[in-house]
A and B are shown apart, each in its own frame.
Chain A
Amino acid sequence: MAYDIQTWVNVAAFIGGGMAMGFGAIGAAIGEGFTAASANEAIGRNPKLSGDIFKSMLVGQAIAESASIFALVIAMMLLFTKFPAHTLTPFVLIAAGLCMGFGAIGSGVGSGFPAGAACKGMARQPEVTGRLTTNMLIGSAVCQTPAIFSLVVSFILLFTDFSVRPVSPTWAAILGAGISSGLGAIGSGLGGGLVAEASCDGVARQPLTATPVTNVMLLSQAVTQTTAIYALLVSFILMFKSFPPTDLLAPPMALLASGLCMGIGAIGPAIGEGFAGRSAVAWIARNQKHIADLTRLMLVGQAVAESTGIYSLVIALVLIFVV
């Protein structure tokens, strides 16, 4: 097909923009729907508090929305910016779109969980409203971190000058970087949301344990985000390492496979660590005396669950550097 480069750039820009907004809309919608459902359940249980619950629901939904707004920003930039017409540009645009599109799914869904739990908790214990709102804000904001990582990678992809690099295998490095950070953010967003949900629930049941529960929630969310950070690291290496030009198919496929490996491999461990963190936080709220035992067990369990994530990182790095 003998179209010129500018045509392909436009094609890729529009497809990338569509994918960014299309995938990016999924997560926040599901999360906000979950929040609204929980808010309705809470109002049904305690109609006198409907004002406070409604306000909490809106604030929680706003934070869950921010992941989709990142996707909207990237989509707008893809649609309306004039990109230089170089052979690699179509791949850059598609990679940026995929990255932000996938990256917004997990954080959107995840941030909806603590908002829902906060609404339900408020109905059960109206005096804790202030503390619950603080906990929900902190939990949701930290849950957005993987989406922020995807945004960083999309940005760097769009504004790095790839024209000095050889076309092959850099096309695969670019796609691999986008896929790695995009898929890698899904699991971490979900896992972080599960933990934050349990912490809001725990604070509502036992308001006196608010501070240790928040501390362990932050710690657990930080561990859950580790696989997203490995994906970010692989993306950075793929974007900034200079590869020698090649005519074969194998080296580009190695780079693409490394992105796929780290991206998909980051999903499971993060969700598993989220389960562990959710259970630990819930039981710390019920059993504050044994917080040290529970925290230690949670960290050990999460470290073991992380091991397949580390295997994926090792294989991804082997694919980039050794093969």
Chain B
Amino acid sequence: MAIEGADIVKAAAFLGAGISMGVGAIGPGVGEGMAAAKACEAIGKNPKEAGLLTRTMLVGQAVSESTGIYSLVIALLLLFVV
């Protein structure tokens, strides 16, 4: 099996895309879950503030998502641009 230079580079790009999105999905998942957990706890203690607490949770989760989106961008770049 004569492995050419361009071919092995492409193979590495695919592998990199997979690892990037795969490992990159761990952090945001755990972090956003913790945010949701504390939000549920806060509503349990203080149900009247449900709207404010929900909005804060969503904003916090969106910020936490940012590294996940970086992983997605790198994965798409590796797949289609490089």
Contact = CB atoms under 8 A, between A and B. Distances in A.
B61 A301 contact: yes
A293 B39 CA distance: 11
Interface in B26-60: 26-41, 43-45, 47, 50, 53-54, 57-58
B23 interface: yes
13 contacts: A247-B1, A253-B11, A257-B18, A264-B22, A264-B26, A265-B24, A276-B33, A294-B43, A301-B32, A304-B36, A309-B29, A312-B21, A323-B14
B3 interface: yes
A308 B24 contact: yes
A224 B29 CA distance: 11
Interface of B: 1, 3-4, 7-8, 10-19, 21-41, 43-45, 47, 50, 53-54, 57-58, 61-62, 65, 68, 71-72, 75-76, 79
A266 B30 CA distance: 11
Contacts of B31: 272
A286 interface: yes
A279 B43 CA distance: 10
A309 B40 contact: no
A278 B43 CA distance: 14
A278 B40 CA distance: 9
A276 B11 contact: no
Interface string A283-322: 1101101100110011011101111110110011011001
A249 interface: yes
A278 B30 CA distance: 13
Contact of B40 (A279, A308, A319): A279
A257 B1 CA distance: 21
A260 B18 CA distance: 6
A178 interface: no
